[in-house]
Amino acid sequence: MISYDYARRKGLLTLSWEDFGNLSGQLAEMLAPHRPQAIVGIARAGLFPATAVACALRLDLFPARLTRRQADQVVYAQPTWIVPISPEVAGKVVAIVDEMADSGETLAMAAEAARQLGAAQVLTAALVSHTWAKPAPQFTALAADALVVFPWDQQVYQDGEWQPHPEIVAGMKAAGIV
């Protein structure tokens, strides 16, 4: 299985933890007028902004895992359910939050699952979204077609030392950044 199509990225955007905090705050402000009653966070990395938004809005957080990855390696061509959305979303206005909307498939699948569980209304949100995401999230704090490096992906602990995330290094090469 090949990784994401990094060659189509335009430039590099490295986000700091402060950037993450600011963008998460913006996402909470965008969602607040719609009065969500619960947040569904898409694990793994979507739990970072989902937790920040849930805390800011003082809402319950329900983690779910819908991914192409296993042990941080892309192994599925399509997003695959690992941990389903909680039935606690029934009857609630739910905001589904992920860190990145690349293809748009993950948020769309999660939104449909929440609807099937009886959510009264489903809002989709991403910290960052690429312009080619179809469908695009209803709310995004930042639209960027760059290779986005989130603070949690800048370094990984591997082989007994901290080093640049190998997928980010490969993505930068594929995008012609290094």
Domains and CATH numbers, the chain: 16-143 (3.40.50.2020)
Residue type present at position 62: F
Q: How far is it, in rounded angstroms, from Cα 152 to Cα 44?
A: 11
Strands (E), the chain: 12-14, 38-43, 60-67, 69-70, 73-74, 80-83, 93-101, 121-129, 139-143, 147-149, 155-158, 161-164
**pLDDT at residue 49 tops 90:** yes
Q: How far is it, in rounded angstroms, from Cα 41 to Cα 133?
A: 18
Q: At what angle do helices 17-31 and 47-57 cross, to 10 degrees?
A: 50
pLDDT recorded at residue 124? 98
Greatest CA separation for the chain: 49
What would the pLDDT profile of 29-41 be if each residue is shown by its tens digit?
A: 999 999 999 999 9
Kindly list the distances between the CA atom of residue 72 and the CA atoms of 24, 29, 44, 47, in Å, as whole numbers in the listed order.
23, 31, 9, 15
Mean pLDDT value across residues 66-82: 92
pLDDT recorded at residue 6? 86
pTM, two decimal places: 0.95
